[in-house]
Structure 1
Amino acid sequence: MTASTIESEVRSYCRSWPVVFTHGRGSRTYDRDGRAYLDFFAGAGALNYGHNHPVLKRALLDYLEQDGVTHSLDMLTAAKEDFLTEFAARVLAPRGLDYRVQFPGPTGTNSVEAALKLARKVTGRQNVVAFTGGFHGMSLGSLAVTGNAAKRAGAGVPLGHTWRIPYDGFAGGRVSGLQLLDGMLADSSSGMDLPAAVIVETVQGEGGVNPARLTWLADLAELCARRGILLIVDDIQMGCGRTGPFFSFEAAGITPDIVCLSKSISGYGLPMALTLFRTELDVWQPGEHNGTFRGNNPAFVTAAAALREFWADSTLEKRTTARDRLLEESLGELARRHTGHVAAARGRGLVWGVSFREPGMAKRAAAEAFARGLLVETAGSHDEVMKVMPPLTITDEDLAEGLSVLQEAVTSAVGGRRTAVAGTR
């Protein structure tokens, strides 16, 4: 009996990348044959600072060697106190954010569930507005506000209490979701009761790398404030610097009522999630929302180290903003070169998508990239988008190499050629 024969059929990434990975360093990960793969996947956004960053690794090893507390539920620990102090000083205070911090459990979907539950408790209302193309997690509440039909079907039960409206640019921008929402709320005969909250991603990741216009996000925030609706921003994949600023909503000049964070908040790929909310929304009773693994102390240690290393100044943010222009130029040129096959290149910061006219072409291009030693995944309603998401800490040389490989992979995929070699030494 082998590992592949006893693991459930639900496994997915190992089907696209059928090698056994053993270690990673920086922007590269290695298989057990010694082949190196340049990583433009970054743990689906959980490795914004790359693999095994030496500063974060040292902090973690020191903590473990000192027999630091590893499990504590929500008890007080030195590691949690250090993280909260750093988070308040380096993230909240500089942005003037009066947020309480909740540890809802170790994953992004835990954060979303807490946000939805809190919004309903605060307002006394049940329905939530979500958007076409949105993805918010795999537990039932998160699935209810997720758009993807295949993922929703896996629930096996009805998913209700959600109104879904068009996201920015849906159907070529022919329908304005915000005008629709505002108009329905203004009409007492529309059948839409005032919702508890609106949940939105500023850039839809799994939905196909769809960035909302900053003006659209500002209009959404204004609508919610005017109507007395709580605004939840799901920043699980796009937060922690992925679009440039620490929070992806900063560029729009808005302040959400509730924010969901996970993935790279630990800085090291360790499970950790936060739900942030305005102080006046903190109506929880002690223990009313809890979980055994909401106090991951090793993650607190690496998270605090990441805040000190990367968010003491604006260096990382400025570098990501500069690279946004580089990717726009490089992937835009790729789209123009293959205009018969590539519909668009779009993104923000260091998350970009190459959208193909033929859905199967994105998977073919991703397979060609893997054969050349580059990891990229696909996204979108029909996996029609090749998603480009390297670590924020990637070197200029590795970024240039990866973009060159992408050009080769797309050229080979649209030309119908196949490459059999996987990985590079």
Structure 2
Amino acid sequence: MTITPPDLSVFETLESEVRSYCRSWPTVFDRAQGSRMYDEDGHTYLDFFAGAGSLNYGHNNPVLKRALIDYIERDGITHGLDMSTTAKRSFLEKFQSIILRPRDLPYKVMFPGPTGTNAVESALKLARKVKGRESIVSFTNAFHGMSLGSLAVTGNSFKRAGAGVPLVHGTPMPFDNYLQGRTPDFLWFERLLEDSGSGFNYPAAVIVETVQGEGGINVARAQWLRELADLCKRRDMLLIVDDIQMGCGRTGAFFSFEEAGIVPDIVTVSKSISGYGLPMALTLFKPELDVWEPGEHNGTFRGNNPAFVTAAATLDTYWADGQMEKQTLARGEVVETSLLAMADEHRRSIVSVRGRGLVWGVEFADKERATKVCARAFELGLIVETSGPQSEVVKLLPALTISTEQLDEGLRVLARAIRETA
């Protein structure tokens, strides 16, 4: 694809240097539909990024768009803080009947604010309030958000450094396979807990991602998650699962922890919960943990009613019949087969292929290769990003609704990009 350099002057002169994604994809996007994005010059791109997981059902999904337009045209409430509205009631009723009740999950629902880091902050605050302790255990290569509390339980040194102040009350532990099986799981963690001379501040909670997205598509085994849940129960710590990127069907089931058969004490959800890319987040927790005083945690934009509308439509359309999970797992098998073939072709350069459902990563021995692959893929009309502490992993995050033809097309482009950057 030949791309005419776009006019980026206003972005480069007026917008902050903090911008990042636009540097990887140097064009000016104009519109999008499904798994396709179009720039202002008419070039077409296949999207394997999906708004960092916020667009599980594609861009401008027509069913969700229709529900949103109808709501806006009838002057439905847009901004409502935490007031009761018909849009919120509809979402809560559907979330209970379609998601929570069939899974026998007893959670109360909190709307903490519009972003994932809002959900994490409220989860950490609640855990500390319930247990009366300050420390939170997280894991190596974790990512939980960019506000100070979330950064304190995030592993990436570059992002942590941006805080500008000490990040306290967080203690990292090895994620699954971090020590490559040389040490029994949780040996160090449990030894610190039981030793009064360890200097370890007893935690209120443990926060974990079942698949570390930004950390490099590190997949926790179901057995490891079950053992972690058991450890938390035995040692009087709350278990928080951060399902912000991996929830809403990304790994197959609606919640990524379902495969392990565990029931976390607290769950954070955001990104694709609205279904349409509208800001929305949930903090879910067991009823006995609902010790908040009215107004103790609030926020101006936690009542995003247009997001409630598209979220309710998403649940009705994609989760009422159980087919979405089957489709995601089937397409995930297609991705895995294709990536393993690429790994076999490039044995010296591809270190690992790993993932679940429709989130996959390809790790390269040359840490700079992944960035080159993503750049070449963009030139060929495919949008993919890197992840991992050194951006050494090409991360695939296509919409769950992507067609089999588009999925095959994107995988072919990726294979070509790998060959042409060798």
Q: How would you bin the TM-score normalised by the shorter chain? A: over 0.9
Structure 1 residue 312 corresponds to structure 2 residue 338: no
| Cα deviation digits, residues 233-274 of structure 1 (max 9, x gap) | 000000000000000000000000000000000000000000
Task: Return the offset for 1:177.
Answer: 5.2
1:166 maps to which of 171, 174, 181:
174
The CA distance in 2 between the partners of 1:87 and 1:121, in whole Å, is: 26
Aligned to 1:347: 355
The code of the aligned residue for 1:179 comes to: L
Residue pairs, 1:186-335, within 5 angstroms: 186-335=194-343
Report SS of the residue matched to 2:296. Answer: coil
The code of the aligned residue for 1:213 comes to: R
Report SS of the residue matched to 1:172. Answer: coil
Task: Return the offset for 1:324.
Answer: 1.9
Aligned to 2:63: 55
The code of the aligned residue for 1:151 comes to: K
Aligned to 1:368: 376
Task: Return the offset for 1:206.
Answer: 0.1
Report SS of the residue matched to 1:152. Answer: helix
The alignment covers a number of residue pairs equal to: 414
| Cα deviation digits, residues 162-190 of structure 1 (max 9, x gap) | 11111001142334451211121122211
Contact 1:168 1:176 (8 Å CA) reproduced? no
Report SS of the residue matched to 1:125. Answer: coil
Residue pairs, 1:136-155, within 5 angstroms: 136-155=144-163
Task: Return the offset for 1:82.
Answer: 0.5
Contact 2:253 2:325 (8 Å CA) reproduced? yes
Contact 1:98 1:279 (8 Å CA) reproduced? yes
Report SS of the residue matched to 1:256. Answer: coil
Report SS of the residue matched to 2:355. Answer: strand
Task: Return the offset for 1:329.
Answer: 1.0
Aligned to 2:53: 45
Q: Structure 2: any 5+ residue segments left out of the alignment? A: 1-8
Contact 2:185 2:224 (8 Å CA) reproduced? no
The code of the aligned residue for 2:251 comes to: T
The CA distance in 2 between the partners of 1:67 and 1:61, in whole Å, is: 10
Contact 1:59 1:302 (8 Å CA) reproduced? yes
Report SS of the residue matched to 1:82. Answer: helix
Residue pairs, 1:74-153, within 5 angstroms: 74-153=82-161
Contact 1:185 1:192 (8 Å CA) reproduced? yes
The CA distance in 1 between the partners of 2:312 and 2:227, in whole Å, is: 34
The code of the aligned residue for 1:366 comes to: C
Task: Return the offset for 1:396.
Answer: 0.4
2:402 maps to which of 378, 394, 419:
394
The code of the aligned residue for 2:229 comes to: A
Residue pairs, 1:169-188, within 5 angstroms: 169-176=177-184, 178-188=186-196
Contact 1:70 1:296 (8 Å CA) reproduced? yes
Task: Return the offset for 1:4.
Answer: 2.8
Contact 2:331 2:404 (8 Å CA) reproduced? no
The code of the aligned residue for 1:59 comes to: A
Contact 1:165 1:177 (8 Å CA) reproduced? no
Task: Return the offset for 1:322.
Answer: 1.1
Report SS of the residue matched to 1:259. Answer: strand
Aligned to 1:413: 421
Structure 1 residue 7 corresponds to structure 2 residue 4: no
TM-score between both structures, scaled by the size of structure 1: 0.96
The code of the aligned residue for 1:378 comes to: T
Task: Return the offset for 1:49.
Answer: 0.3
Task: Return the offset for 1:313.
Answer: 1.4
The CA distance in 2 between the partners of 1:173 and 1:364, in whole Å, is: 31
Q: What is the CA RMSD across the aligned residues, in angstroms?
A: 0.9
Aligned to 1:421: none
The CA distance in 1 between the partners of 2:257 and 2:10, in whole Å, is: 45
The CA distance in 2 between the partners of 1:357 and 1:351, in whole Å, is: 20
- The verdict on how the C-alpha distance between 1:381 and 1:3 changes in structure 2, with shifts beyond 3 A counting, is closer
The CA distance in 2 between the partners of 1:217 and 1:12, in whole Å, is: 33
The CA distance in 2 between the partners of 1:245 and 1:41, in whole Å, is: 20
TM-score between both structures, scaled by the size of structure 2: 0.97
Task: Return the offset for 1:333.
Answer: 1.1
Task: Return the offset for 1:303.
Answer: 0.3
Q: Percent identity at matched positions?
A: 64
| Cα deviation digits, residues 268-287 of structure 1 (max 9, x gap) | 00000000000000000000
Q: Structure 1: any 5+ residue segments left out of the alignment? A: 415-425
